[in-house]
Structure formats: C-alpha cells, structure tokens
Chain A
Amino acid sequence: MNVVPPALARLIDDLARLPGIGRKTATRLALHILRRPAAEAHELANDLANLHETISLCSNCFAFSESDPCAICGDPGRDGALICVVEGPADLMAIEKVASFKGRYHILHGVLSPMDGVGPAEIRVDALLKRVRMQGVEEVLIATSSTVPGEATAAYLAGRLQGLPVAVSRLACGIPMGMDIKYADELTLSRAIESRKPAA
C-alpha cells in the first residue's frame, strides 16, 4: 500500500535530485513545505518557475544576471582594467562578500578536467582573451582554486595570456588565518615561504 500521496512523492523525488540531498532530507523538506501556509509554497514555486525566465548569463563576464550586462559589468565605479577570473558563480559571490575587490569578473563555469571531457574549448578561455584584447584590460587576476585542476587551469590561462600586453597575477597561497603552523602540509608551507612579504 502506498502511504505517501503521489504529489508529495513527486516533490520528494524532485528534491532528492538536488546536490547533497538524499531521500531522508528530501522527505523532511517536503513535509516542512506541506506544513507551512500554502502562500509560502506558492511563492517558492513561483520563484523556481521564474528562475530560468528571468536569469541569463551576462554576455561580458558570464555571471548569472537579470540584466545584460550584469550589475557589476554595468557599474561605472568598477575598474574595467582589472579582471578576476573565477571558476563559477559561487566563487564570485565569495570574493564579493569580502568587498575588497573593485574590478570586474570573468566566469569560466568550470575548470580543465580531461577525465570529465572538459578541455579549453569547454571553459570560456577565448572570450577572456577577446576581452583582454578589446577592453583595455591591464591586469588579469586568476582566482581559480588551489586544487590540482584549478592550478592546471591557472597555468593554462597564464600560458595563453603570455605575450599579450597585460599583467597576470594569481591569488596568494599559504597558511590560512587561524591555522596552527605545525599542522600545515609541506606544499602549503613551502608556497607560504616562497610568497613571504615584508612584515612592516
């Protein structure tokens, strides 16, 4: 006997397709939505339905945006000569939270990963080179993660940007704030020593 009403079962199936959500969590979320007032469920359904209709990629930096160009690319207060290259929208949000970067972004929507069939043609490298050539860019800050694919992507981008009249920089890499130095691994520690700077 099926004790779960079909509409609820469908919602559980839909939620369980989301990353990091298993069937147990999906069931908990679905029951939570059911217990809340119907207006809240309608609002959530509307927001989900509008997502793909209102949001598209900025044609300049490839950020998700409701306008083209996006708010950052269209802001005259941002420094167009400085581009920060990130892997995905979540990285842009993380850097924006710090509020110390005043340039613009370029979102690759991925990193090089031959095992997954992702090569240079699958991330937006040519669009970055075009921006550098056409938009008077003076510095490209490569802010991909310090994982192996992130580092390989950074090295590849640095190679492609070589020869263009632009400075190429990489996010500093070393001991994170609050970390006890004796727990740092050899690679991080050696990078931190290489990238040391005057204390005063």
Chain B
Amino acid sequence: MKSGRTPAVVIGVRSYGESDKIVIFYSRKRGRLSGIAKGAHRSMKRFVNKLELFSHLEILYTESRSSSLVRIDQAELTDPFPLIRANYARFAAASLVSELIFHWTRENDPDPRIFKLLLWTLTSLENLKQPPAWTAILFNIKLLTLLGYKPALTGCAECTSLAPGSGPYLFSPGRNGLLCRGCATPADSAAPEAGPELPFSLRTARLLQKAQELPLGKLDRLRFSPAATKEALAILKIYGNSLLQREISSWDFIVR
C-alpha cells in the first residue's frame, strides 16, 4: 500500500468507536483528505494533543486499497494555534473557515493557494492582527476568488454602470454581484430562489474589491467599519450559501 507525507490542517475531528478518531484535513499535496487514526484517544505518544481542530501538522499516512479513508500513521505538530481556542470569536471564525473549506473542496484535488490562504487565515486569527470577523470576510472573498466565483463588484452585474445616482445598490446572489437601482427591479430578478437581494453600499463593495486584488500580506491594511462588517458578512453568507445550495452552520456564530 502506498504511503505519503504532507503538510495538513485539521478541519474536522470525530470519535470513531472507543479509541479511534476520524480526522478530516486540508492538505497541501492531496487537498481534502480523510483519515482514521487508530487508537488516537488512548495514544500517549503518537497522537496526543495533535489531531485537534485547526492544528497545522505534517502527517504520514498509508492509503487503503478499498476505501478513500487513509490510515494516519504519524503526526508532527507544526503549529497548534493555541490562542484561537482561547477566544470564542476567533474559535467561531476558525470554525467557519474549516466548514467552508470542507464544503468547497474535494478529496484528491489539491490547490496550494487554498492551503496557503488557510494558513494565512489561521495565523491572522492567532495573532489577532484584525478582528476575527474581518479575517472571516477576507478569507471568504479570497476563497471565492480562488474558486472562480468572484462576485462582480466593479459595476452593476447587468449594465456595468456605477454612475453616481444609479444607487442605492443591491447585492444579488442569483446574478453574482452588485445591481444598480434600474436593474434590480423584481420583474427581472434572475433567480429569486438563489436568495434575497440585499442592500449593498458602494463603500463596502470597494473594500471587498480591494480585498480581491491585494496579496495576502497586505490584507491587514484594510479597515471595515461596523456597518461594512455587518453588510459584508450578510452578503458573503447569502452568496456562499446560494452557491453551495446549503446552510453553513458556523455563519450564525460569527461575532461582529
């Protein structure tokens, strides 16, 4: 059986039987990866305190012939991000990040850019360079961009206009972006089942647009007002849920 080694971040853990754990990782070399850690609950050497949520590890695994579940043979802790668990707002934001990675990615489909974004996000939450809600917003907008679902924020998604006086603007999940007053009439609403259209200020649209363009290292320059934070979270939640066609539980626990 083939064995492998990859840097990985734990995005989900659950107990399996009395002593085993099923662990879900997002790994640099394999993308999303599920593995079983035999005896993890009783382990005093190999796994103690390592297979914990949000931990950045180097894992050694063996592939199975009959299942997509790999066997975790060893895990070396690179960074446990201990401060994330010491604060509810950071924990809730990291939970959202993990849940989104789980639903947006597939097994055996690695994307090193997503792995880098995940590590940037956890490091940002750990160091508290900005409020956790801002980090959650920036992670979301960057992830959507990497996945090819970048929302249209430079002009109206229908007529491309962004002229003064064409507001107030709305965000339409069904039409993947900003809509001006003229294009946002209920009569030509493209996909009402995609979710409601939400009021969207140009100020927030410009902030999110900047976040799409800036490299990860410069994202901490952006500042979100309480109103922009609220608006961006609402829009990203409804847009992401509409694309995934499912409710992401952690959204409800983000501390604004």
Which residues does A use to contact B, with CB under 8 Å?
20, 112-117, 119, 146-149, 151-152, 155-156, 159, 176, 179-180, 183-188
Q: Which of A117, A149, A187 contacts B249 (CB 8 A)?
A: A117
Inter-chain contacts of B36 with A (CB < 8 A): none
- Select from chain B the residue with minimum beta-carbon distance to A187: B80
Knowing A115-B12, A115-B98, say if A185 contacts B49 (CB, 8 Å): yes
- Please, how many angstroms separate the alpha-carbon atoms of A110 and B45 in the complex? 28
Are the CB atoms of B44 and A183 closer together than 8 Å? yes
Inter-chain contacts of B54 with A (CB < 8 A): 148
CB distance from B27 to the nearest CB of A (A): 19
Between-chain CB contacts (< 8 Å), 27 pairs: A20-B17, A20-B18, A114-B91, A114-B99, A114-B250, A114-B252, A115-B12, A115-B98, A116-B249, A119-B253, A148-B52, A148-B85, A148-B91, A151-B85, A152-B86, A152-B91, A155-B85, A159-B88, A180-B44, A180-B45, A183-B48, A185-B48, A185-B77, A186-B77, A187-B77, A187-B82, A188-B49
Whether B50 is near chain A, meaning CB under 8 Å from some CB there, is: yes
Are the CB atoms of B44 and A176 closer together than 8 Å? yes
CB distance from B167 to the nearest CB of A (A): 34
List the 10 closest A-B pairs by CB distance, nearest first. A152-B91, A114-B250, A114-B95, A114-B253, A151-B85, A148-B53, A117-B249, A156-B88, A183-B45, A185-B49
- Please, how many angstroms separate the alpha-carbon atoms of A187 and B75 in the complex? 14
Whether B72 is near chain A, meaning CB under 8 Å from some CB there, is: no
- Select from chain A the residue with minimum beta-carbon distance to B253: A114
Query: Which of B77, B82, B85 has the most A CB atoms < 10 Å from its CB?
Result: B85
CB distance from B23 to the nearest CB of A (A): 12
CB distance from A109 to the nearest CB of B (A): 17
Whether B92 is near chain A, meaning CB under 8 Å from some CB there, is: yes
CB distance from A88 to the nearest CB of B (A): 13
CB distance from B216 to the nearest CB of A (A): 24
Interface size class, chain B: 20 to 34
Are the CB atoms of A114 and B44 closer together than 8 Å? no
- Please, how many angstroms separate the alpha-carbon atoms of A152 and B249 in the complex? 17
Inter-chain contacts of B249 with A (CB < 8 A): 114-117
Between A and B, how many residue pairs show CB distances below 8 Å? 70
Given contacts A149-B91, A185-B48, 19 further A-B contacts (CB under 8 A): A114-B99, A114-B249, A114-B250, A114-B252, A115-B98, A115-B249, A116-B249, A117-B252, A151-B86, A152-B91, A155-B86, A155-B87, A180-B44, A183-B44, A185-B49, A186-B77, A186-B80, A187-B77, A187-B82
Whether B59 is near chain A, meaning CB under 8 Å from some CB there, is: no
Are the CB atoms of A179 and B99 closer together than 8 Å? no
Q: Which of A20, A112, A115, A117 contacts B88 (CB 8 A)?
A: A112
Inter-chain contacts of A113 with B (CB < 8 A): 95
Whether B170 is near chain A, meaning CB under 8 Å from some CB there, is: no
- Select from chain A the residue with minimum beta-carbon distance to B10: A148
Are the CB atoms of B252 and A185 closer together than 8 Å? no
- Please, how many angstroms separate the alpha-carbon atoms of A119 and B49 in the complex? 24
- Select from chain B the residue with minimum beta-carbon distance to A160: B88
- Please, how many angstroms separate the alpha-carbon atoms of A180 and B17 in the complex? 26
Are the CB atoms of A188 and B17 closer together than 8 Å? no
Inter-chain contacts of A176 with B (CB < 8 A): 44
Knowing A20-B17, A149-B53, A152-B85, say if A188 contacts B253 (CB, 8 Å): no
Are the CB atoms of A115 and B86 closer together than 8 Å? no
The digit string for B232-247, where 1 denotes a CB below 8 A from any CB of A, is 0000000000000000
- Select from chain A the residue with minimum beta-carbon distance to B11: A115
Are the CB atoms of A147 and B52 closer together than 8 Å? yes
- Please, how many angstroms separate the alpha-carbon atoms of A116 and B98 in the complex? 12
Inter-chain contacts of A187 with B (CB < 8 A): 49, 77, 80, 82
Query: In the complex, which residues 65-103 of chain B have their Cβ closer than 8 Å to any Cβ of chain A?
Result: 77, 80, 82, 84-88, 91-92, 95-96, 98-99
Q: Which of B44, B53, B88 contacts A179 (CB 8 A)?
A: B44
